[in-house]
Amino acid sequence: DAKTTQPPSMDCAEGRAANLPCNHSTISGNEYVYWYRQIHSQGPQYIIHGLKNNETNEMASLIITEDRKSSTLILPHATLRDTAVYYCIITGNQFYFGTGTSLTVIP
Amino acid sequence: DAGVTQSPTHLIKTRGQQVTLRCSPKSGHDTVSWYQQALGQGPQFIFQYYEEEERQRGNFPDRFSGHQFPNYSSELNVNALLLGDSALYLCASSKGPRTGRNQPQHFGDGTRLSIL
């Protein structure tokens, strides 16, 4: 399964868009990009996933580059409740979690 | 619609003991995967069960074993506990064994296992 590279930490002002990047240069053509987040002491929460096209749901948007080697998760209006560790996962047959990005939303 | 439920929420054991953790999948899901999450790390895949058989396994010793029941619920067993087994154990469920394709996993909130 392809591995990912994410910045260890990021800050974002409350109400602003949070843009979380992820590099996955070894992704294969049939592997999906998934994003999960984990708030302290809870299980990972599914956010969004995609294969090639950009995706949007009620929580976030996922932008995947044309060569599929990187992606960005966008939280359009960050709130304090969005403070969490965000994991970008490239899946083949298993979910491989890296160490993720710790996002802190600042009041 | 109940999500993934795990029991117990917390457990304390001593070295050398054995432990059994339990998981009930989300309604409509038939595949269960188990993960170990050490403090400050991302979850690591242990194994996956589908149709009552272990389908995939991560890099864990055979002290870690599991079982899936006809109602799709699952157990994780760990024998001869070591201090390093202290972690949050997460269960995730999905529909169908081809997890990681166009099929999100849904996670429970885990069992916090502490080894003294």
Q: Per-residue pLDDT tens for A11-70? A: 999 999 999 999 998 888 888 999 999 998 799 999 999 999 899 999 999 999 999 999
Q: Is B81 helix (H, G, I), strand (E, B) or coil?
A: coil
Write out chain A residues lying below 8 Å of B108, CB-based: 43
The arithmetic mean of pLDDT across residues B84-112, rounded, is 88
- Measured between CA atoms, the residue of chain B closest to residue A87 is B42
8 A C-beta contact, residue B11 and residue B19 = yes
Choose the closest CB to A95 out of B98, B105, B109. B105
pLDDT given for residue A86 in this prediction: 98
Least confident of B45-49, B63-67, B93-97: B93-97
Backbone angles phi, psi at A66, to 5 degrees: -60, -35
Binding-face residues of B in 60-89 toward A, CB within 8 A: none
Q: Which residues touch A72 (CB under 8 Å, ≥6 apart)?
A: A19, A20, A21, A22, A62, A63
pLDDT given for residue A93 in this prediction: 62
Q: What is the mean pLDDT of chain B?
A: 93
Give the pLDDT band of residue B69 (cuts 50, 70, 90). very high
Give the pLDDT band of residue B100 (cuts 50, 70, 90). low
Q: Tell me which DSSP letter residue A93 carries.
A: S
Give the model confidence (pLDDT) of B9-46 as tens digits.
999 999 999 999 999 999 999 999 999 999 989 999 99
Q: B16 CB near a chain A CB, below 8 Å?
A: no
Give the pLDDT band of residue B7 (cuts 50, 70, 90). very high
pLDDT given for residue B103 in this prediction: 82
* Integer CA distances (angstroms), B107 to A25, A91, A99, in order: 27, 16, 17
From the list B64, B5, B45, the residue with the least C-alpha distance to A89 is B45
Q: Which of B21, B90, B94 to mutate to test the interface with A (most CBs of A within 10 A)?
A: B90
Phi-psi region for residue B72, left (φ > 0), alpha (ψ -120 to 50) or beta? left
Q: Is pLDDT of B72 > 90?
A: yes
Q: Which of B99, B111, B112 to mutate to test the interface with A (most CBs of A within 10 A)?
A: B99
pLDDT given for residue B99 in this prediction: 57
